[in-house]
Structure 1
Amino acid sequence: MAAPLVAVAHGSRDPRSAATIHALLDVVRELRPDLDVRAAFLDLSAPRLGDVLSAVHGDGHDTAVVVPLLLGRAFHARVDVPAAVAETQRRHPLLQVQVTDVLGPDPRLEAAAWRRLLEAGADPDDPNLGVLVAGAGSSHAPANQLVADVAERWQAKTAWAGAAATFASAAEPAVPAAIERLRARGARRIAVASWFLAPGRLPDRITDLTHDHAQNPLIATPMANAHEVADLILTRYTETLATTQTPHRLPAVL
């Protein structure tokens, strides 16, 4: 039996966020109905990662593969996920936990965000359009650069007046400054591409600020349950599982 896939998201007080993660994992299950797929969260939502891994062990598995539903290698990927896994393995030393790479960067994320933007009404051939590629923001500069790289690639392949990264917190430029930069390049209309998996406080902050500084902006929805993201999750799982021994179940205690 294949090792369970434990997908761990950050978590949010906004119930839309957890609901979206569960919807995304439903798509993963549609693609791999044979696979045991479980949701977990680092904070603010339940169940927590440690509890899910303990349940995996309690169900008789000796191997699990954790897939961080994170778009870059910022603090949560570098600190929070390894710490939660290490604590679980201290409590369950017979449980082998493999942690995959984060989701980004990957062309499938970019394809999902691009499709959401087009669905919101953005026209790649509109020379009057300025596009914000909006991410959470991080104190880890490489994570922010991933978002800026997306904006640069989109700028190069469209007729837009401009495309620029913007961040909800911890990084610059914030929305007002990014909009001003786009207007300086000739943008008369503003659209927002979402570099978020799920709705929540930070995407809402981006939306509110955009409405405060632009008239009738186009706002793309988060990537959410996009098939591209579900496919990427399975790729991360299979890549990591291929480096481990074939998992098996612990013998039943009689």
Structure 2
Amino acid sequence: MSTQDYSIVLAGHGSRDPAGIAEFMALVDIMRQRAPQRRIYHGFLEFATPTIDQAVAQAIADGANTVVMTPGVLLAATHAKNDMPSELLALQQEHPDTAFHFGAAMDLHPRLLELCRLRIIEAEARSPRTVARGDSCLVVVGRGTTDPDANSEIAKLTRMLEEGMGFGASFVCYSGTARPLVADGLKAASLLGFERIVVLPYFLFDGVLVKRIYGSVDDLAARCPDIEVLAAPYLGVHEHVAEVFLERAQEGVEGRASMNCSLCKYRVQIIGFEQQVGTPQQGHHGKVRGLLAKDNTPAATPAWPPYVPHPIEAESMCIIREGRDWSAFPAEQHTALHRLVHTTGDFSSVDELVFSPGAADIGMRALLRCRRIVTDVTMVETGLKRAVLQQLEVETWCGVHDPETYLLAEAHGLTRSAAGIRRAWEKFGNDVIVAIGDAPTAIMELVRLVREHGWRPQLVVGLPVGFVGTRECKDALRGLLQVPRITNSGTRGGSPWAATIVNALMIDAIGHVYQQQQAAPEA
């Protein structure tokens, strides 16, 4: 079969904004005009229809034996590396007699650079003023992703435009996920002392995010009347974009699709993303696939099963509940207290436990909101119930084996547990629950970061065991009024204790959601 005999499915992201969908379809029309010999279809990952699988099914129904899926996105991030390939793998299984190929994302391309230049010149032409490029600062706004390689492409694009067009300086910011965000980036650019700021949204189509960017540009212009702020058009519907998509499709079917695998966080260990090597390809858009084409009848909320203990565990809990008078303890603490007795086999273990006001309820709700637990050692992490973590979609992170943790510990004379806590502060900010069950040094580093650097974890569970520094670190944690905390006094504790408390909070979180669902029909 000739490599010229194939159909193209342009796989778009999808949008809630009808204008963005209309522009995408207009671009498909240009592709059809420029390649009339080719059957070209389009589908979307989310919100809009047709979906990608519907587009492929139509291509096959029309007689296609070979289909090349081309990502309709600018950069190779999660959508092009995970979501769309996972769709393609599923389609290959569903249609085994069809040959499938995958094209590369657009990435940086000379035609796209030329289109960026055109959009910038259009913005400059709308101004009645004449300002030298050397007196202008270019701000390029990217979408922002969790993939550092894709984010760095925006920085590379910006630098090429700055040097190629002669701007006095340039600045990069993002509409979300990556930093700096748009408002922060525009503010920083306004402080550089330039007469003019040109803002280029590096987006394919109109949509909610583009409108927000232009809103931020208007806000900056109102706040800084002495600076001329120009908003350049986004890339939009243009023959250059259509030509790049057609080129990527041809490369895909010929086996020449090229992606930057040497700096892909899923293939090699990239600084700060080492644990993501080998992450399975799986889609994340099932809940919103084709959403806008569905009727407005609210979908039934998926049943959230309650936590069901093993029969022996359930019997043990009955014995524990009847084994002493629990009325002196607040009800919100009971699950944690009962499970700690279950772990230790000792009713007296709960007598030295200390909860700051509302800590159990705060921790339970934080698990449902931020969904990330940081531990000081792997023993705490492995002690967390896998099934419960999966149901709540909670991520765990332990920095003790992180390469940067090792370097940080060596450079600053810290234990690796303490260095891991410092890494968590830098990496995740405040949206974490911290569980420490082994290292007093980890608690002391956390206390220092809270007091000196304003760190505010959602909850701290500090229950290390031992005789060196253990009492002192727990005393310091009990006096740390800035954060919710659960700890104890004395030398007892350990990784199983810390994991048990967090497991109890997760079980309470499951129960909380389950009760809300059960009460919903009565509301």
Under a length normalisation based on structure 1, what TM-score does the superposition of the two structures give?
Answer: 0.89
Contact between 2:69 and 2:100, CA under 8 Å: does it hold in 1? yes
Task: Out of 233-242 and 70-79, give the one that drifted further.
Answer: 233-242
Contact between 2:11 and 2:70, CA under 8 Å: does it hold in 1? yes
- Superposed displacement of residue 196, structure 1: 0.5
Match of 2:254 among 215, 231, 242: 242
Match of 1:193 among 200, 203, 224: 200
Contact between 1:161 and 1:185, CA under 8 Å: does it hold in 2? no
Alignment pair present for 1:178 and 2:185: yes
Number of positions where the alignment pairs a residue of Structure 1 with one of Structure 2? 244
| Separation in structure 2 between the aligned mates of residue 173 and residue 234 of structure 1, nearest angstrom | 33
Q: Percent identity?
A: 27
Task: Out of 192-201 and 87-96, give the one that drifted further.
Answer: 87-96
Structure of greater Rg: 2
Match of 1:79 among 61, 77, 82: 82
What's the CA shift string for 1:62-104, capped at 9, x where partnerless? 2101110111111111111011112222221112210101111
Match of 1:225 among 237, 258, 264: 237
Alignment pair present for 1:14 and 2:17: yes
What's the CA shift string for 1:207-246, capped at 9, x where partnerless? 11121122463222221222111111111111222249xx
Contiguous gaps of at least 5 residues in structure 2 = 223-227, 257-523
| Separation in structure 1 between the aligned mates of residue 100 and residue 156 of structure 2, nearest angstrom | 32
- Paired residue type of 1:182: A
- The 5 A counterparts of 1:99-138 are 99-121=102-124, 125-138=132-145
What's the CA shift string for 1:117-150, capped at 9, x where partnerless? 2112268833332221111101111111111111
Q: CA RMSD for the aligned pairs? A: 1.9
- Paired residue type of 2:45: L
- Superposed displacement of residue 164, structure 1: 1.2
Alignment pair present for 1:65 and 2:68: yes
| Separation in structure 1 between the aligned mates of residue 63 and residue 37 of structure 2, nearest angstrom | 17
Task: Out of 214-223 and 201-210, give the one that drifted further.
Answer: 214-223
- Superposed displacement of residue 172, structure 1: 1.0
Contiguous gaps of at least 5 residues in structure 1 = 245-254
Q: Which position in structure 1 is the counterpart of 2:216?
A: 209
Over 3 Å counting, the alpha-carbon distance change for 1:61 and 1:157 in structure 2 is closer
Q: Which position in structure 1 is the counterpart of 2:96?
A: 93
- Paired residue type of 1:204: K
- Paired residue type of 1:160: F
| Separation in structure 2 between the aligned mates of residue 223 and residue 4 of structure 1, nearest angstrom | 25
Q: Which position in structure 1 is the counterpart of 2:54?
A: 51
- Paired residue type of 1:62: N
Q: Which position in structure 2 is the counterpart of 1:164?
A: 171
Q: Which position in structure 2 is the counterpart of 1:143?
A: 150
What's the CA shift string for 1:159-198, capped at 9, x where partnerless? 4332111110001111232223323332232221121100
- Paired residue type of 1:241: V
Kindly indicate whether structure 1 or structure 2 has the higher relative contact order, using CA contacts under 8 Å at least 6 residues apart: 1
Contact between 1:125 and 1:158, CA under 8 Å: does it hold in 2? no
Q: Secondary structure at the match of 2:133?
A: coil
Over 3 Å counting, the alpha-carbon distance change for 1:124 and 1:163 in structure 2 is farther
Q: Secondary structure at the match of 2:134?
A: coil
Q: Secondary structure at the match of 1:172?
A: coil
- Paired residue type of 1:40: G
Q: Secondary structure at the match of 1:97?
A: strand
Q: Secondary structure at the match of 2:26?
A: helix
Over 3 Å counting, the alpha-carbon distance change for 1:184 and 1:157 in structure 2 is farther
Under a length normalisation based on structure 2, what TM-score does the superposition of the two structures give?
Answer: 0.45
Higher helix share: 2
Alignment pair present for 1:31 and 2:38: no
